[in-house]
Amino acid sequence: MIINHPLLGPRDSAEFTYKGDANLINRPDPETASPQDWHDYAYLRDNPAGPHRELWFHDGGDRSWLVVTRNTLTHEITAVELARDVARAEGRSK
Amino acid sequence: MTQKNRLSGGQIGRDTTLKFTFDGKQYQGHQGDTLASALLANNVRLMGRSFKYHRPRGPLTAGSEEPNAIVELRGGARQEPNTRATTAELYNGLTAKSQNRWPSLAFDAMAINDRFSNFLTAGFYYKTFMWPAAFWEKLYEPIIRKAAGLGSLSMKPDPDAYDKGFRHCDLLVIGAGPAGLMAALTAGRAGKEVILADEDFRMGGRLNSETLHIDDAPATDWAAQSVAELSALPNVRLMPRTTVIGAFDHGIYGAVERVSDHLHTPDPGKPRQTLWRIYAPRTLLCAGATERPIAFDNNDRPGVMLASAIRSYANRWAATPAQRIAVFTNNDDGHRTAQDLLAKGVKIAAVVDTRPDAPRADAYEVLRGAQVIDTKGRLGLTFAEVKLADGTLRTIECGALGVSGGWNPNVHLTCHQRGRPTWDDSLAAFVPGGTLPPGMSVAGAAIGALSTHGALTTGAAAAKKALGLKGRTPATPKAEDAPVSQTPFWYVEGCSRAWLDQQNDVTVKDVKLSHQEGFRSVEHLKRYTTLGMATDQGKTSNMGGLAIMAELAGKAIPEVGTTIFRPPYTPTAIGAFAGRIRGMEFHPTRLTPSHYWAKERGAVFVEVGNWLRAQWFPIEGETHWRESVDREVTATRNSVGVCDCTTLGKIDVQGTDAAAFLNKLYCNGFAKLAVGKTRYGLMLREDGIAMDDGTAARLEEDHFVVTTTTANAARVYQHMEFVRQCLFPDMDVQLISTTEGWAQYAVAGPNSRKLLQKVVDPAFDISNEGFPFMACANITICGGLRARLFRISFSGELAFEIAVPSRYGDALMRKLMSEGAEFDVTPYGTEALGVMRIEKGHAAGNELNGTTTALNLGMGRMVSKAKDSIGSKLSERPGLNEADALIQVGVKPVDPSKAITAGGHLMAETGPVNAAHDQGYITSAAYSPSLGHMIGLGFLKNGAERLGERMRLVSPVTRLTVEVEIASAHFVDPEGERLRA
């Protein structure tokens, strides 16, 4: 596969390490989250047959985390974003 | 007379005579021959024995689809089994042996199987070798493997090199027949970057095998001119001898280039094969078509071949399998074979055409509406039995029979991403359809354009369209455009032992039997009968099987469907996939800065991850590793030892939020750590399980150096970047791995300070007051060399770790050794390191094993409740905090002479020994030279409350049962007086 890195352009997927569901960005708020929220965050993952937002680490490159939207049926990649931008957009900060 | 079946003409270099042997007998051929063409020229039709019945077999084809002529090529360590004689290029000195026969090819004792064919039908193995189950591994499987099976391995290491390479282009053209050449010309002339790959060593495809004309000149001339033009274009790369084996995601293609297979041995420095990864946004598949046979009884005798293959041998290689040949066809293409053979002076016995309205010919006899129903000849064809239109039988004498049942487009690569071909009624064949791999289009015979004109025009048009070229489609050269109509004719009515799949010995009868026994899915048929398996993957047999299945089920062929085509297109050597990554190059070898010094000292090394670390340093007179390790431990505890700990991961953390970041990362607090201090840190996973441990040293307000365990260095770094980028994206903090930037040595033992004082520059006070336990600092040594000093201890002794830029690592180690001579300084390896950490009760990888929490490790109170950190919330789960949770303890044998081994489980002194009574387990064990007996670390339920208790340590695996006493994990210096000295 080829991942179109937002900063570095098209790169072979062999340069990356796969982590999984991009929902891992949405770590519960330690002030307000319930035990159930923590359980869901740690253990529950969607496994869709179709578009899937997932985390890839460019360890053979610039070491950035990316959010890749990949169709699990066709491997078509429709979006690649810096995970940091995604995290900020979802309200994460410090 | 040699080469008695050599004809005139052909594309072989007659000036060059090549000698070769087959089954020990000497033959001669020419430059440009394949092994098969050279053997045929020498009147050798018998080239192998079949897989199951050991029936005599000769080549069916003239290409990579060959099911029969499979040989062992070369000898010694280069012996290669299951090589197709039809694609093996002849070279001087080639040696080949036939396979799957004993004692010889002409007399094969296992041919007895053929007599018992009634018992060896579809599913024979499944039905016969069922009971008792225990017989499988010991009896049935070895017997079957010996009797069936193809070639044998040399069992020696492959002496050749294999490479991997990467190439990029605008357009990849697969196949250099008329369509592929025309496409490459169209794209190449337009200035596009083109790769043209073909599995053959001579480009031109079918044009090389035919007597066609293009622009009123022989088509072979056009092919040669086109290849010459393309090779002169700087933007076109020709890759002959290169098989595109698979279409992978996002326009990535795998291609094997046989760089040296046509040579006796590879040229110096050259690989045998190269596996290319070709990145192509657009690909044009011009893979051509494969002729399909017709099934009739005993259609597998040597001499029965595809009509197009006989034509290839005659036209391209000037070789014929016999001097008198018959043709059996259901289409016009078969007649071409008769015409071409006649032109070369070969006698045509007859053309048997299934069509009542078949074209007549003056030069040879055409038997219209007739069928070949059987053949004769023990080791090769002698007679064909023909049933004429009026039902009478006629025996025709012939040494070869060309069979043509029409052509199947080579759709394989269009299906590599689960696309399914569609059925074309006018061709009675599958053509590319459904969803092709993105970026791929198809032209020429592969898409069903079976005439030369069709190939040229579709090739040019597809290239233009794929690349979005503007303007008129350039005129294509003039070529034959004979109408193609293929009517299905799969097998002769009433046949039984009629071979569909010659490689797996699957007959028409077997397919019928499997249908009768309920195997209705095409995938089940394949697995039950083995139709379409093995090296040829059914390239000449699948369609026949499908057609019969469809007929039996009363369905149309497209309803039955095909099996899924998967890479690789042709068999690929495992060596090509491995490339250079084998032996010591299987993974990188990382050497520590003191490696060459340690080697001089005679160190024994151990692989730790990719690192080579000194395990111990034997000295003269030591005969057992324990002697060395015990000495190293004792010397360190009594005076001073030095150990290379460079391999620990070192991560530089800088930024105004560095402390806040570490506070999130470690379960214990880091915000208040003073500059110049180091702290032990435990990292949890978000689920509350311990991930890794290490130290973080605050060198400056905004600058920390974090260490990780050797094994987890990469993983922890990745985790830290995840926390930084994905969870706390606005923290001002930067990370970089500096593991290889700094050489780091542990200097441990009561004399460690005295030794270091000899190398640390006098400006730096490293006394106990000036540099207390857990201090850290940037310093200089040896008169100005920058260094880092940490007062941390894994051994439990007064100890330091000193780091210098890696390039000074070797020099520093030698300096420490020479300056330490007065203290009898002793280098120690990973074994002594392990013994000392067990004596001290420090957790390592055995304890941080992915199942243990901070509580288990005896560090439950370290998890700060005052702050949020990764894993802190889920570590509070009740299930991880039960009253009888496993707690790390030490164990020692009640009888000091007894052994303790890791992996054993702790049980009560009396009572049953089983999982229900399991109290805990041992993770680490070592002989403690400091205590004079073995000790262990492990986890015990409610362990902290059970010190002094006696238990049984049992290991059913090693049959160990030993009485042990539960002890504090801190066997040596439990109060920590030494490390604070």
Q: How confident is the model at residue B121 (pLDDT cuts 50, 70, 90)?
A: confident
Least confident of B82-91, B103-112, B428-437, B610-619: B103-112
* Span B657-680, average pLDDT: 97
**Cα–Cα distance for residue pair B100/B102, rounded to 1 Å:** 7
Give whole-number Cα distances, B820 to B56, B415, B593, B786, in Å: 79, 70, 19, 21
pLDDT in the model for residue B874: 96
- Does B156 score more than 80 pLDDT? yes
Q: What would the two tokens of residue B657 be? A: 């939020």
Residue from the list A42, A74, A93 with its beta carbon closest to the beta carbon of B687:
A42
Q: Tell me, yes or no, whether B428 and B399 share the same domain.
A: no
CATH code of the domain covering residue B686: 3.30.70.1400
Instruction: Judge if B809 and B929 occupy the same domain.
Output: no
- B783-809 pLDDT, tens digit per residue, is 999 999 999 999 999 999 999 999 999
pLDDT-derived band at B1 (thresholds 50, 70, 90) equals very low
Mutate to test the interface with B, among A65, A71, A80 (most CBs of B within 10 A): A65
Look at residue A31 and tell me if it is in a domain.
yes
Distances (CA, A) of B595 to B409, B617, B619: 60, 12, 17
The answer to whether A83 contacts chain B (CB < 8 Å) is yes
A94 CA: distance to closest CA in chain B (Å): 5
Q: Is the peptide bond before B568 cis (omega within 30 degrees of 0)?
A: yes
Nearest CB to B726 within list A17, A24, A43: A24
* pLDDT above 50 (res B22): yes
- CB contacts, 8 Å: A87 with chain B: 725-727, 729
pLDDT at B148: 58
Residue A48, min C-alpha distance to chain B (Å):
19
Q: To probe the interface with A, which of B686, B726, B872 has the most A CB atoms within 10 Å?
A: B726
Domain containing residue B349: CATH number: 3.50.50.60
CA distance A55 to A75: 14
Are residues B665 and B798 both part of a single domain?
Answer: no
Q: Work out the minimum CA distance from A75 to partner chain B, whole angstroms.
A: 7
Distance CA B28, CA B30 (A): 7
Residue B114 has what pLDDT?
81
Last residue of a domain, one of B158, B193, B221: B158
Domain identity same for B144 and B202? no
Flag whether A94 is in a domain. Answer: no
* Residue B132, preceding peptide bond in cis (omega within 30° of 0): yes
Contacts of B649 in chain A (CB under 8 A): none
- Please name the residue that has the structure tokens 């590793």: B625
The CATH number of residue A40's host domain is 3.30.2270.10
Q: Is B277 helix (H, G, I), strand (E, B) or coil?
A: strand
Measured between beta carbons, the chain B residues lying within 8 angstroms of A82 are: 725
* Any A CB within 8 A of B731 CB: yes
pLDDT, tens digit (0-9, with 9 covering 90-100), for A33-90: 999 999 999 999 999 999 999 999 999 999 999 999 999 999 999 999 999 999 999 9
- 30-69 in A: which are within 8 Å (CB) of B? 30, 33, 35, 38-39, 41-43, 55, 57, 59, 63-65
- Residue B521 contacts by C-beta under 8 Å, 6 or more apart in sequence? none
Q: Let me know if residue A79 belongs to a domain.
A: yes
Residues of B with Cβ-Cβ distance to A91 under 8 angstroms: none
Is B131 a residue whose pLDDT tops 70?
no
Tell if the CB–CB gap between A42 and B874 is shorter than 8 Å: yes
Say whether B714 and A24 touch across the interface (CB within 8 A).
Answer: no
> Do B450 and B516 have their domain in common?
no
Residue B127 confidence (pLDDT) above 50:
yes
Mean pLDDT of B115-136: 69
What pLDDT sits at residue B150?
Answer: 72
Which residues in chain A touch residue B657, judged by CB atoms under 8 angstroms apart?
Answer: 94
Same domain for B153 and B177, yes or no, is: no
pLDDT at B208 over 60: yes
SS (H, E, C) B194-216: EEEECCCCCCCHHHHHCCCEECC
Phi, psi values for residue B545, rounded to 5°: -60, -45
pLDDT tens readout for residues B761-788: 999 999 999 999 999 999 999 999 999 9
CATH of the domain at B951: 2.40.30.110
B722/A42 Cβ within 8 A: no
| In a domain? residue B838 | no
pLDDT, tens digit, 9 for 90 and up, residues B845-888: 999 999 999 999 999 999 999 999 999 999 999 999 999 999 99
What residues in A contact B872, CB-CB < 8 Å? 30
Q: How many domains does chain B have?
A: 7
- Residue count of chain B, please give it: 981
Q: Is residue B108 part of a domain?
A: yes
Question: pLDDT-derived band of residue B410, with 50, 70 and 90 as boundaries?
Answer: very high
Judgement on whether residues B971 and B917 belong to the same structural domain of the protein? yes
List the single range of B71-75, B469-473, B814-818 with lowest mean pLDDT.
B469-473
Strands, E assignment, B108-241: 162-168, 171-174, 194-197, 213-214, 217-218, 236-239
Contacts of B727 in chain A (CB under 8 A): 25, 27, 87, 92
For residue B279, the chain A residues in CB contact (below 8 A) are: 2
The minimal CB distance from B729 to the residues A12, A30, A92 is found for A92
Q: For A86, list phi and psi in degrees, rounded to 5.
A: -65, -45
From the list A1, A19, A92, which residue is nearest B728 (CB)?
A92
Q: At B661, which amino acid appears?
A: F
Q: Which of B668, B702, B737 is the last residue of a domain?
A: B737
The shortest C-alpha distance from A8 to chain B (Å) reads: 17
- What's the total number of domains in chain A? 1
Q: Chain B: nearest CA to A38, how far in angstroms?
A: 7
Domain range enclosing B670:
649-737
- Write down which residue in B405, B422, B452 finishes a domain: B405
Alpha helices, DSSP H, located in chain A = 35-43, 83-89
Name which of B282-296, B549-563, B785-799 the model is least confident about. B549-563
Are B300 and B284 part of one and the same domain?
no
Nearest to A92 among B279, B660, B727 (CB): B727
* CB-CB neighbors (< 8 A) of A75 in chain B: 249-250
Residue A74: give the domain boundaries: 2-89
CB of A74 within 8 Å of a chain B CB? The answer is yes
Q: Are residues B345 and B273 in the same domain?
A: no
Is A92 an interface residue toward B (CB < 8 Å)? yes
Same domain, B131 and B90: yes
A-B CB pairs within 8 A amount to 78
CA-based nearest distance B577→chain A, Å: 15
| Domain-embedded: residue B870 | no
For testing contact with chain A, the best of B168, B722, B725 (most A CBs within 10 A): B725
Does the residue B635 lie in any domain?
no
| Contact criterion met (CB < 8 Å) for A57 and B721 | yes
The answer to whether the CB atoms of A76 and B438 lie below 8 A apart is yes
- B612-618 average pLDDT score: 98
Nearest-Cα residue of chain A relative to residue B247: A1
Residue in chain B lying closest to A2 (CA)? B250
Rounded to whole angstroms, how far apart are CA atoms B123 and B126? 5
Cα–Cα distance, A1 to B252 (Å, whole number)? 7
B578 lies in some domain: no
User: Cβ of B686 under 8 Å from any chain A Cβ?
Assistant: yes
Q: What is the pLDDT of residues B376-387, one digit of tens each?
A: 999 999 999 999
- Label the pairing between strands B400-404 and B304-306: parallel
- Indicate whether B263 and B317 sit together in one domain: no
> pTM above the 0.90 mark?
yes
Q: Which of A63, A78, A88 to mutate to test the interface with B (most CBs of B within 10 A)?
A: A63
CB contact under 8 Å between A94 and B727, yes or no, is: no
pLDDT band at B147; cut points 50, 70, 90: low
The rounded distance, in Å, linking the Cα atoms of B207 and B933 is 82
Eight-state DSSP code of residue B90:
P
Q: Are B612 and B591 in contact (CB under 8 A)?
A: yes
Do the Cβ atoms of B323 and B40 come closer than 8 Å?
no
CA distance A87 to chain B (A): 6
Could you give the CA distance from residue B127 to residue B22 in angstroms, rounded to a whole number? Answer: 38
Is the same domain home to B169 and B184?
Answer: yes
Minimal C-alpha gap between B165 and chain A (Å): 14
